[in-house]
Amino acid sequence: MRDTAVVRLVEDRLAWYPPGAGAEPQWLDDDVTSDGLRATLAQRRIKVCFAAPGADARLLTLAVAPEEKKHLSQSLPFTLEEQVAADVDSLHFAYSPLENDSYAVAIVAKAKMEAWQALLADFPGITLWLPEPLLLPWLDGEWCLVLEGESAIVRTGRCAGFTVEREMVAAMLQSVIVDTGLPMAVIVYGAEQAEDTALLPELLHDRVQWRRGNLCAALLLSDAPQATINLLQGNFAPRLPLALWWQQWRWVAAVFAAACILQLATTYAEYRSLFIQNLALRGAVEQSYRRAFPQGAVVDAEKQLRRQLDVVGGSGQPSGFIGLIERVGSAMAGMPDASIASINYNDKGNEMRLNIVAADFEGVEQLRSRINEAGLEAIMESSSTQGERVSARLRVTERS
């Protein structure tokens, strides 16, 4: 993790390892050191992660059926209930997908998560919490051990590792050998080669590659974790700093809210004024309509009035009843022997049916021709003889 700073607990004291740090950690109970970490967090030029103590985080790999992935966050505690000694309600479960429908899982007590949150409260911005063993360098077929004081940090797989007392290293590694077999190499970071090698099961002695150093030396050779299980999930996921944002922007928000309220009030006042004017105009239109047509329902006074005017020919165009009767009358002028017996007008089709009485059929045909010459279309529907005169029914419409 050459480009990542690490914050961890060492003997109940917070310390941090800047990228390229020396052999010793920098203690955060020193004001100058803590100010340096805060400056690093504020600049956001490098990543900062918290290394959760491996003794408090259990790591395992779990195969998950495809249909269970959608509800994994709810089902995971019940799936692993028989594999943990504590009540699942007191435990926090974090997970990360791997390949082939498998997931890396980390289990931590909720009380520990809350305690770590309290310790890191003065350093906001650390949003990546990783189990300590996953910080060690790892290659397929290799194990890595870092011996520090009376404890050992061990990584045995992509998502496998633990932190135990030195006396428990042999027993724990023997258990891993039974489950996964022997590794090709065991990288050990320590201070005394013979003493450190003796801590491992005898089966591993010929596979040990001992290096002088501590966790700082191991971090220099470690890349970003291949199986990143960020413990900050679920109820412990980072929250937006709403309180801080409110403190910084509350006056701007107040001015904006006041402007919005003023705009809404102005808009509402204009709406009320226009609404009242609209009611007055509609009332005036309805009164005008009633003066012309006292009877009948009023739905759209303007539209209804235009329709009535079109019916009586008030549009100014040669259409409607008045327009038709005017042109028919002009055609009958000069034909004293012809008269109209009755008129039937249909306003929807703007057509008129005339019952004509003339001296003979020639007179009826002459009248029909004169109507056609007036720009209309006259069609004879029927004719009959009544004594010495002829009666005919004509359908008159606008010429299309």
Name the token pair of 56.
Answer: 């408090």
Predicted pLDDT at 239: 75
Residues 6+ apart with CB under 8 A from 60: 80, 83, 104, 105, 107, 159, 160
Q: Kindly report the backbone phi and psi dihedral angles of residue 219, in degrees, each rounded to the nearest multiple of 5, phi listed first.
A: -65, -30
Q: Count other Cβ atoms within 10 Å, centred on residue 224.
A: 12
Q: Could you tell me if 104 and 59 are in contact, meaning their C-beta atoms sit under 8 angstroms apart?
A: yes
Q: Could you tell me if 66 and 102 are in contact, meaning their C-beta atoms sit under 8 angstroms apart?
A: no
Name the token pair of 378.
Answer: 């006259």
Q: How far apart are CA 312 and CA 213, in angstroms?
A: 109
Measured over all CA atoms, what is the biggest interatomic distance in the chain, rounded to whole angstroms? 148
CATH 3.30.300.30: does it fit domain 312-398? no
- Against a cut of 0.85, is the pTM above it? no
CATH 3.30.420.380: does it fit domain 1-135+226-239? yes
Domain at 137-221, CATH from 3.40.50.12780, 3.90.1200.10, 3.20.20.140, 3.30.420.370: 3.30.420.370
Task: Give all strands of the β-sheet with 351-358 in edge-to-edge order.
Answer: 339-346, 351-358, 389-398, 376-386
Predicted pLDDT at 315: 46
Question: How much of the chain is in helix, strand and coil states, percent to nearest 5?
Answer: 45, 30, 30
Q: Could you tell me if 107 and 93 are in contact, meaning their C-beta atoms sit under 8 angstroms apart?
A: yes
CA atoms within 13 A on the CB side of 74: 3
Q: Count other Cβ atoms within 10 Å, centred on residue 119.
A: 16
Predicted pLDDT at 285: 80
Residue 167 to residues 10, 66, 150, 164, 204, Cα–Cα distance (Å): 19, 41, 8, 8, 16
H/E element holding 70?
none
CA atoms within 13 A on the CB side of 364: 23
Q: What is the pLDDT of residues 341-387, one digit of tens each?
A: 888 888 777 888 989 898 888 888 888 898 888 888 889 899 888 88
Q: How far is CA 396 from the centre of its chain?
A: 66
Q: Count other Cβ atoms within 10 Å, centred on residue 285.
A: 15
**DSSP 3-state of 83:** helix
Spell out the per-residue pLDDT of the chain, length 400, in tens.
Answer: 567 888 999 888 899 888 765 567 788 988 888 888 888 888 877 888 899 999 999 999 888 888 888 888 888 888 888 888 889 899 999 999 888 888 999 999 999 999 999 999 889 888 899 999 998 988 889 999 999 888 999 999 988 999 999 999 999 999 999 999 999 999 999 999 999 999 999 999 999 999 998 888 888 777 655 557 899 998 888 876 676 677 878 899 899 999 999 999 999 999 999 999 988 988 888 887 777 777 777 777 777 777 766 655 544 444 577 888 888 888 888 788 888 888 888 877 788 898 989 888 888 888 889 888 888 888 989 988 888 888 999 998 888 7
| CB-count burial class (<10 Å; 0-12, 13-18, 19+) for 144 | buried
Residues 6+ apart with CB under 8 A from 81: 88
Q: Kindly report the backbone phi and psi dihedral angles of residue 208, in degrees, each rounded to the nearest multiple of 5, phi listed first.
A: -80, 135
